[in-house]
Amino acid sequence: MRDDADSLRERPARGLPVISGPEWFEAEGRPFVLRIECPLAFEEMVAGLYGVAETEEMAGDDALCGCVTVALLIEGLAGLRERAARIGRDERSGAIASPAFLALCRERVAALLEH
């Protein structure tokens, strides 16, 4: 059975909001701004939220992307991939700590990618 996440995985990558400014990053004494684009899988976006973000931090698209960006910067892409794999294993074994919050993370990422 296919779900919404399956159809999103097959779509071409699209740009999301640019995360910048003092809300997210300390700029004092840092004269350089590094800009990157990092393609992420649906599961990696969810992993950047689950266990990291709070519900209110996912209310808007910029906030959601900011949470994922900070998680990516702190953990790295390998860390997000491992977290996504762990979430999948925990879900299959029934060991997810908060199934409702995981579902919310997936709903928010799906809604963001459908814009």
Q: For the chain, which residues make up each domain, given as ranges?
A: 48-115
The residue written with tokens 């579902």 in the block is: 103
pLDDT digits (tens, 9 = 90+) for 61-107: 999 999 999 999 999 999 999 999 999 999 999 999 999 999 999 99
pLDDT digits (tens, 9 = 90+) for 51-69: 999 999 898 999 999 999 9
